[in-house]
Structure 1
Amino acid sequence: MNYQTFLPHSDLESLVSCYWTLEIPKKASSEKQRIIPDGCIEMAFILGDDIKRYTSQDKFILQPRAMVLGQTIEPFFIEPTGYVNTFAIRFYPYGFANFVTMPIKDLVNKETPLQFLFEKNSAKELEQNIIKAKDSRQRIEIMENFLLQKLKDKSTIDVIVKQTVDALFSSNGSNSITTILKENLSKRRQLERNFKKQIGVSPKQLGKVIRLQTALKLLLNKKRDNLTKVAYESQYFDQAHFTKDFKEFTGINPKEFLGNENMALSSLFYK
């Protein structure tokens, strides 16, 4: 696997986490890969062979070749049909809402073709330019020109929503909304309403995903191999609480995670 990440332009760094590329040679047989939530929204262009996304144990759809994957709050499986070549943009949770008019909650747990999010001809032109680009640097330049143009006509994200997301990340997802809002508890209902519209999920759901990412990094980077210590350092109440959340978002328990062939791709992304 050849996985690379690239930093965004300074004018986009508060909204875009990174650009990434993934290349995997065609294999005689490919394993299903379990994809788990990471709290971000991604725009992806499939430049290689098609990729299956399983909707049940044995039923699947082919992922759109130019799409946005909204917030996910449950794991799902994908399977390459051959050569993998993907170019993608990873947005911060509050980032993508600055470029579209559609409520972000309508994108949750699914792939949405670009033509449903932007003007059809504009989306098609962007896809063709990305396909024809000679390398990743040129694709990033094309993408940034597109995003910066869209940004000119869009209002900035709700300040309370951004502050809440930043507080969740800085506390590794452990801060409660009551703690974050402090003296502004009267704005809680407004926050939760705007949060779902602009982020796609509730503050509590995003916090749980962020806290899980902290635990995953400890496991993947082998900083901790004792599950009780992982649970403690990730701010879980106890190991049982950690195991419950882990299984909710990954579909397996922590002991099954490491070395699982179906988790190779997620392990690459979350290290």
Structure 2
Amino acid sequence: MDYQTFQPHPDLESLIKCYWTLNSPREDVPQSQTIVPDGCMEMIFHHGDLYKQYIDGEAIVQPRNCVFGQLTQPLQIEPTGVTGIFSVRFHHNGFIPFATIPINNMDDKAIPLEELFGTAGTELGQKVFLSKTTIEKIELVENFLRERLNPETIDRIVQSTVDILLHYNGQISVNELSKQSNINRRQLERRFSSTIGLSPKQLSKTIRLQSVLKHLLNNEYTSLTALAYDAEYYDQAHFIKDFKEFTGLTPKEFYGDNLQISYLLYRKNS
């Protein structure tokens, strides 16, 4: 697999985390891959063969061009041929200025661009598909997003609260988060739901698990007990429960071929 990342233009870097590409030849025996929730929405363009995704045990083919909402559970995907993907990874609340439907209606769904943006979405997908280089794809997408940017939808309180969560690696209670943000818990939960698609508790758990995954994939801990302790889980059982909720596996089952994409996404230099 050839995985590369690219940085956005400075005027969009507060909304877009990065662009990434993934290219891979056809597999003789296609391997299912697990995508672990990371709290970020993605705009995905397939210029290779499409991927299958499994929802409640049923396989469906992803749209060629789509925005994937927040994942609230691990997602199983499988290539159908040659992989060629160009994707925009937004910050946790980065897609809201471009949204045309409620964010919390997009959870665990791949919404076709034409459903979100009409004929303009269809045309963007065609242009990105025909473009020859990643730089051209980035320019096309950035111009498209600039034209649709609605800064009035950016919630500064949510943005600063996400910064707090990231600072603590998700290791902070929602009540303490509410205090530090100077907003009551119910209001905070409503704002998170409408701008991120997750509750503060869900995003906190996701961010903490992402930190754990990076440590695991970079072999920075030899003891799962020590890792659970440093991540401030109540006990080993709590750690394993949360880990399985987000990955579908126990920590000991985590390594293997079905996590190649996770390794690419979460290694140190990604």
1:39 and 1:211 mapped to 2: Cα distance? 11
2:178 and 2:76 mapped to 1: Cα distance? 37
2:82 and 2:226 mapped to 1: Cα distance? 40
Equivalent in 125, 128, 131 of residue 126 of structure 2: 128
- 1:22 is displaced (CA, Å) by 0.0
The equivalent of 1:267 in structure 2 is 263
The equivalent of 1:228 in structure 2 is 225
- 1:7 is displaced (CA, Å) by 0.5
Amino acid in the other structure paired with 2:28 = A
Map 1:145-224 to 2 at 5 A. 145-151=143-149, 153-182=150-179, 187-224=184-221
Note the residue ranges of structure 2 that are not aligned, 5 or more in a row. Answer: none
- 1:17 is displaced (CA, Å) by 0.4
Note the residue ranges of structure 1 that are not aligned, 5 or more in a row. Answer: none
2:220 and 2:141 mapped to 1: Cα distance? 36
- 1:159 is displaced (CA, Å) by 1.6
- 1:261 is displaced (CA, Å) by 1.5
Amino acid in the other structure paired with 1:146 = F
**Partner SS for 2:89:** strand
- 1:186 is displaced (CA, Å) by 5.2
Map 1:1-271 to 2 at 5 A. 1-57=1-57, 59-118=58-117, 120-151=118-149, 153-182=150-179, 187-258=184-255, 260-271=256-267
1:40 and 1:243 mapped to 2: Cα distance? 23
Please tell me the root mean square deviation across aligned C-alpha atoms, in Å.
1.3
Amino acid in the other structure paired with 2:83 = V
What count of residue pairs does the alignment treat as equivalent?
Answer: 267
- 1:29 is displaced (CA, Å) by 1.4
**Partner SS for 2:152:** coil
Runs ≥4 residues deviating over 4 A: 183-186
Per the alignment, do residues 83 and 184 of structure 1 end up closer, same or farther by CA in structure 2, a change over 3 Å counting? Answer: closer
Amino acid in the other structure paired with 1:175 = I
- 1:184 is displaced (CA, Å) by 6.0
**Partner SS for 2:191:** helix
- 1:102 is displaced (CA, Å) by 1.6
